[in-house]
Amino acid sequence: MKFQTLKDSCFYIQNMDLSTLKGCLFIISKDADSRKRAYSTLAKRLLEQGYCTKSYTKELPQETLFSLSLFEDKTLWQVDLADRLKTQDAALISRIMSENSPHCLYAICLSELPKQIADYTKFPSFEMAELKPWEQQKELSSWIDYLCQSAHKKIEYQAKEALIKDSDLNRSTLENELEKLILATFEKETITLSDVLEQSSGDVKGSLFLLADHIFENRQDLALHVLIATQEDGSHPLQITRYLRGQILNLVLMKSLMLAKKSDEDIASHFPQMRPKSLEKNLQYCSKLRQKGLESALLMVDRLEIALKNEKIDEQLSMEQLIVKLCSTCSQMS
């Protein structure tokens, strides 16, 4: 069975008839966190039915899976074979499918369907679709709403957006940050953008990361909000301009490679320290922004940095004017 979101798959597992599960089942997703959470939902239900749980990885002898204990009536095995299947892994899955033990249920976790094993369709499968970035954002937004409702909280739309961007679309990071927010705002009914920025204020780089994102996406109000929060946290204007310069310079170089018809893999090799999600996001920015506009934005930052070093200017006003100009430039480039 294929699900569009993790939330849908977990809801189905929470309400399914467990008596239909015999022998083995498949949990399939390219996202490791989604596989983990779907399995955890299943394990929680089976623990209530008297099962014990065990995990198998490739480091363990395969016979471990088939050795029965006199003290364990029912066992749920998590068989993690999420890497690309090798011949011996396919053979292991075939053996599991033929085992049909009344005492063991095997949850085989994979990143894709095992097409080289013809009989897998005879067993239940929970497959989660691979989502595009905007679909991931939408799904994570729904997940935040679900977690907040469970904690009897409301959350502002802008606060959700900031959380999602700060997590780099990583569900575990997002949930950890949201849990801290819920605890920090226990006296409040609604989590606001200010609460999110206050929590992330200890991580200046994280706040600046948000600032750059809002600029490239022409979200002027949010960009100014983050700028003020970052400065109140003690960040010097020069620290902010240097960070922005680095981010814009990355896009200038990336855009040059795109115009030279380089592949995504070639471009990635020029940015070895950049995380895959960040690289994907920057490639999206480059696809919609023009080279001359990016170079113009870089020049704006350089001019202000020189003025901050050599002239007596209103730093707060100058920084706000820079943000407005950068957002306007990005808007004209789209």
User: Three-state SS for 2?
Assistant: strand
Domain 135-333 has CATH 1.20.272.10: yes
Which residues 6+ apart lie within 8 Å of 107 measured at CB? 24, 25, 26, 27, 39, 42, 43, 76, 77, 78, 79
- State which amino acid sits at residue 251: L
Is 3.40.50.300 the CATH classification of the domain at 2-128? yes
Q: What is the pLDDT of residue 248?
A: 92
Q: What is the pLDDT of residue 72?
A: 59
Measuring CA to CA, how many Å separate 284 from each of 63, 102, 299?
Answer: 47, 51, 22
Domain-by-domain residue ranges, the chain?
A: 2-128, 135-333
Token pair in block for residue 158: 């802008």
- The closest of 121, 133, 119, 109 to 29, measured between CA atoms, is 109
Length, in residues, of the chain: 334
| Whole-number Cα distances in Å, 142 to 130, 137, 330 | 16, 9, 29
DSSP 52: E
Q: At 62, which amino acid appears?
A: Q
Measured CA to CA, the distance from residue 99 to residue 233 in angstroms comes to 60
Per-residue tens of pLDDT for the chain, all 334 residues: 888 777 788 888 989 998 888 888 899 888 888 888 889 999 999 998 888 888 887 767 777 777 765 555 788 888 887 665 666 677 888 888 887 777 889 998 888 876 667 677 788 888 888 777 777 788 888 889 988 888 888 999 888 888 887 777 777 778 878 888 887 787 789 998 888 877 765 454 556 778 888 899 888 888 888 888 887 777 788 889 988 998 899 899 999 999 999 888 888 888 876 777 788 888 988 988 888 889 999 999 999 999 998 888 999 899 999 999 999 888 766 5
